[in-house]
Amino acid sequence: MSDDAPARTGKSSASGDVILEMRHITKEFPGVKALDEVDMVVRRGEIHAICGENGAGKSTLMKVLSGLYPLGSYEGEIHFEGELARFHTIRDSEHSGIVIIHQELALIPELSIAENIFLGNEQTHRGSIDWVTTRAKAAQLLERVGLHEDPTTRIKDIGVGKQQLVEIAKALSKDVRLLILDEPTAALNESDSQHLLEIMSGLRQDGVTCIMISHKLNEIEQISDAITIIRDGRTIETLRVHEDGVDENRIIRGMVGRDLGSRFPEHTPDIGEVFFEVKDWRVQHPVRADRLVCKDASFFVRRGEIVGFAGLMGAGRTELMRSVFGRSYGNLLGGTIVKDGQELRLGHVRDAIDAGLAYVTEDRKSLGLNLLDDIKTTTVSAKLSRITEGLVVNEALEFRYAEQYRKELRTKTPDVEEGVAKLSGGNQQKVVLAKWLFTEPDLLILDEPTRGIDVGAKFEIYGIIQRLASEGKGVIVVSSELPELLGLSDRIYTICEGEITGCLDKGEANQESLMRLMTTTTNGRSETPAAS
């Protein structure tokens, strides 16, 4: 047998209903032990969740299982289907029936759905790709995951919710027996998330075992049969959801090692005068001239106020915020921005930063970070003038500020010279937040600030948001999680199809009233939530 093929020898002592057993898995990187004697047992045909704070080792464990970290780079044993598994590459694990879907989807935008599904697994006849068979099999797989799209549709022409289903269809094309999903609903709205959970439930009925990493505890409680909790690279416990009477508070206690009395820190708002206002903001789509992404939008922010923005995926929340932040999206057709009584002319992102605006993007990897930089460089990158003397960077100041924000945000890293690409998704988000806090903004715009963040880190970030508001700054929070907006915001605007359809104070807002405004435009036409 070649080194490139999986060698599976030796029977496991596990019982017959166990499909996977990971024993004493230890994985070290320079300066840090990511996994320390981790054990996990997964039963056949169940949905098994893995929970833990950012940097706990969840994704690392799954990369070991899937062969991304090959045999020899870690200690311990993996037993799959009752046999000792030796995975040298991800192809080895896939050959055995293990398929992983990462949080950052691995699809090629310019290729069709069918081409992506069978990429690397092409359907051939006499040495050439059989396109008839490819499209026919793709259509069958799309039907199985409930995605009603033409297999010839390009990936870039469908939303992220549908792309997630394409990834599952791709996994099913490989005769998957164990499907690993890393934060599968992190980028999805509520309706898309629910649809994906229903797909997972259907796979369970078909005998496919699923392992799910997620920070959405309500979804874990809803769909999981078992939960393994990892803290600081060690297995804390495995809970049987129905047998052990597991609820969200029980999961949190295992994750953070204590009870979290409230999901949001105590905060008494001290709201002042209006200092920032957008009036009649009208923005054209950057490519489609016949489409308006912002339709005469008007809103304001007062000092010390946290303002939420709610809307379905594609409603125009991000487009509005990016266009306000130095016209970084679309073509401005009209509208004004006023700050402290003075009209602002923000032609570029640098103008917005100089005017005291900061924007934490929803897509941290492509828009928020340079993955080639280290933490120190990233932290100060948005406002180098704070640490330069003439044209020379004061490296002592650079290190001091980076270290200050590392401690303040509790970013898990050996030191601030670590590359941001090596951090977990949640810790990368903290570095992005540090970068914009360093600019000392008067108005901080946060677009999906806690996407992929664990419940303990969320609590910390909520505290930072509230502290900024208490200092008299304004904060805008765009979020797909309505409980987050309701728990944080003093007022909440709703957006539907590029229009601001309402504004509710904290006391009158609830999920039902927000959803009603999020699905109805000002001309009264209702929009039905659907998979994007």
CATH class entry, domain 7-97+177-256: alpha beta
CATH of domain 262-356+442-532: 3.40.50.300
Average pLDDT, integer, range 75-94: 94
pLDDT digits (tens, 9 = 90+) for 183-222: 888 777 777 788 889 989 988 998 899 999 988 888 888 8
Quickly state the pLDDT bin for 528 (edges 50, 70, 90).
very low
Statement: the pTM of the whole predicted model exceeds 0.75? no
Q: What is each CA distance from 118 to 62, 130, 170, 401, in whole angstroms?
A: 23, 11, 7, 48
Domain ranges across the chain: 7-97+177-256, 109-176, 262-356+442-532, 369-440
Quickly state the pLDDT bin for 66 (edges 50, 70, 90).
very high
pLDDT at 363: 73
pLDDT at 188: 73
Average pLDDT, integer, range 328-342: 93
Name which of 86-95, 464-473, 487-496, 522-531 the model is least confident about.
522-531
User: Cα-atom radius of gyration of the chain, to the nearest Å?
Assistant: 24
Structural element, H or E, at residue 185: none
196/223 Cα distance (integer angstroms):
11
Average pLDDT, integer, range 351-377: 86
Quickly state the pLDDT bin for 115 (edges 50, 70, 90).
very high
Average pLDDT, integer, range 88-114: 90
Would you state the structure tokens that stand for residue 444, as one six-digit string?
Answer: 């901080």
Neighbours of 387 (CB within 10 A): 20
pLDDT digits (tens, 9 = 90+) for 246-296: 888 888 888 877 655 567 888 889 999 999 999 999 999 887 788 898 999
Average pLDDT, integer, range 351-356: 95
Average pLDDT, integer, range 32-39: 90
Name which of 88-92, 100-104, 228-232, 298-302 the model is least confident about.
100-104
The amino acid occupying position 129 is I
pLDDT of 164 higher than 70: yes
Q: Taking all residues of the chain, what is their mean pLDDT, rounded to a whole number?
A: 86
Which of 282-291, 440-449, 521-530 shows the highest mean pLDDT?
440-449
pLDDT at 527: 43
pLDDT at 12: 36
Q: Are strands 47-51 and 209-213 parallel, antiparallel or unpaired?
A: parallel
Neighbours of 500 (CB within 10 A): 23
Residue 366 per-residue DSSP state: I
Of residues 260 and 471, the one with the higher pLDDT is 471
pLDDT at 531: 37
pLDDT of 112 higher than 60: yes
Average pLDDT, integer, range 316-334: 92
388/366 Cα distance (integer angstroms):
27
Neighbours of 242 (CB within 10 A): 10
pLDDT at 53: 76
CA angle 196, 197, 198 (to 5 degrees): 90
pLDDT at 158: 84
For 330, half-sphere exposure in the C-beta direction (CA atoms, 13 angstrom radius) is 27
pLDDT digits (tens, 9 = 90+) for 389-442: 888 889 999 999 999 989 888 888 888 988 888 887 778 888 998 999 999 999
Q: Phi and psi (nearest 5°) for 295?
A: -115, 90
456/253 Cα distance (integer angstroms):
10
Average pLDDT, integer, range 224-243: 91
pLDDT at 185: 82
